[in-house]
Chain A
Amino acid sequence: MEGYEVIFAGSNFIRLLSGLWVTVRISLISIGFSLIFGFIVGIAMTGRSPLIKALCRVYLEIVRMIPQLVWLFIMYFGVTRMTGLNLSGEAASVIVFTIWGAAETADLVRSAFQSVPVHQFESGRALGLSQFQLYFFVILPQAVKNLFPNIINLATRMIKTTALISLIGVTEVLKVGKQVIDANRYDAPDAALWVYGAIFLMYFAVCFPLSLLSRRLTERKE
């Protein structure tokens, strides 16, 4: 069998696609949670309490300092064993990616709000707007404009980083690819290039539209 035939042999392609779906599903769920928690933490970071600000800062720094793979191992092998909690690989992945994504989102939200000049807040207040009206009509629309492209870039980064979760036993697209290659090791020794090539295209198909969207939004800003 030729290498490229392996991709479509049997149910291989369907399996690859369902692996891709695992990747996309975990990414989407993590990104969704990240946005929710990230906004909350980010707004807390722009608030007045120095204690809350410091705590958020520490959280962000710790998350950033340690590689995602280490977090995955800590969560899947460490925490699970220690607490006796029976986390699936997929659940552990979602938790780790949410902890990471929320920290990054929070930082983006914080800087987006802080990039709105002080006098915008003041002239809004001087017009008698309530706190809610001020944020809803004036501040948020300005903040989101800067925020949107950055959030999409983060989402792309998260999708790519999910490749790591194959290492804690989640059968996402990369893992499926490896299984397919292994199963055909003797029939088609050069399958690896083709299968990984196909996976390359799959990642590309998911991430490229996002990157386009981000570029569109950045351009419109100028």
Chain B
Amino acid sequence: MSGNIIEIRHLRKAFGDHVIFSDLSLTVKKGETVVIIGPSGCGKSTLLRCLNGLEPIQGGTIYLNGKPLEYGRKSLVKIRQKIGMVFQNYDLFPNMTVLQNILLSPVKVQKRNRREAKEEAEQLLEKVGLREKADAYPDALSGGQKQRTAIVRSLIMHPDILLLDEITAALDPEMVHEVLDVVMELSRNGTAMLIVTHEMAFAEAAADRVIFLDGGRILEEGEPQAFFHSPQTERARRFLSAFTYSES
């Protein structure tokens, strides 16, 4: 088996006549942190959603650990345990406490022992600095705390890869850091991740590889240092320059 967690080959995705990807290929290796950047509407979210079966695809194959994904009901449930996802919106369930949110899928989907799962949940909460919030309801949490909880809720499934879709985009600036710290730590520990973000400094620090997506294609791909400081394409240069303020 190759060391690829995710391998996308010739992905085709369209909404009706609106083609998002006509032929997209991409791999994520074991332990690799891949950051996807690109202009709004280029299909970053759609790509992540295809990976865990929230969007049907119109062509190509996605391999998870070398096995092609199937989209039947049963296999989707399996896929989603292997591929964790955190969204931009605070998507905790408001009718459950932090701990109940985290325990729902290990206990109900994975049928794990509740006590064992609870112990792990508490350890994970400790790691992200939320141990004392275990019994709080999402309403009582700040945006940053919610997103850290959402990360824990994914991690407890022991996914092979974590998909993060602009998880700090809706946060107040002072809370962005605490969330990115958690992600950074995961990256260092070798959790495979596919991250969509507009936080360029973070992307540069965390990524093993950066992918620049535009017009449904990968326009540029490479090491973060190289990409951010000497982008090869004009399109990427222009995109990146929008993120640095300079007086004209």
Contacts and interface: CB of A to CB of B under 8 A. Distances in A.
Do the two shown chains form a genuine complex with each other?
yes
Interface of A: 117, 119-120, 122-131, 133, 137-138, 141-142, 145
Nearest to B108: A133
Contacts of B108: 129, 133, 137
B54 A125 contact: yes
Nearest to A143: B95
A141 B93 CA distance: 10
26 contacts: A119-B89, A120-B93, A122-B87, A122-B91, A124-B93, A125-B80, A126-B52, A126-B80, A127-B109, A127-B153, A127-B157, A128-B80, A128-B105, A128-B110, A129-B77, A129-B108, A130-B77, A133-B108, A133-B109, A137-B93, A137-B104, A137-B108, A138-B93, A138-B95, A138-B104, A145-B95
Nearest to A125: B54
A15 to B, nearest CB: 48
A128 B93 CA distance: 14
Contact of A119 (B73, B78, B91, B109): B91
A119 B80 contact: no
The DSSP consensus for interface residues of chain A is helix
A128 B80 CA distance: 5
Residue among A128, A130, A131 with the highest chain B CB neighbour number at 10 A: A128
The 8 closest A-B CB pairs, nearest first, are A123-B91, A128-B80, A127-B105, A141-B95, A126-B85, A128-B109, A119-B89, A128-B81
Interface in B66-91: 73, 76-78, 80-81, 84-85, 87, 89, 91
A145 B96 CA distance: 13
Contacts of A145: 95
B105 A129 contact: yes
Contacts of A125: 54, 80
Interface residues of B, number: 27
Contacts of B87: 119, 122-123, 126
Contacts, number: 63
B94 interface: yes
A129 B94 contact: no
Contacts of A141: 95
Contacts of B81: 128
A136 to B, nearest CB: 9
Interface in B102-140: 104-105, 108-110
Interface of B: 52, 54, 73, 76-78, 80-81, 84-85, 87, 89, 91-96, 104-105, 108-110, 150, 153-154, 157
B129 to A, nearest CB: 22
Contacts of B150: 123
Contacts of B94: 142
Given A124-B93, A129-B105, A130-B77, 18 more contacts: A119-B91, A123-B85, A125-B54, A126-B84, A127-B109, A127-B153, A127-B157, A128-B80, A128-B81, A129-B77, A129-B109, A130-B73, A131-B73, A137-B93, A137-B96, A138-B104, A142-B93, A142-B95
A140 to B, nearest CB: 9
Contact of A126 (B54, B92, B96): B54
Contacts of A124: 93
Contacts of B77: 128-130
Nearest to A145: B95
B91 A128 contact: no
Nearest to A127: B105
A133 to B, nearest CB: 6
Contacts of A117: 89
Contacts of A119: 87, 89, 91
A172 to B, nearest CB: 40
A39 to B, nearest CB: 19
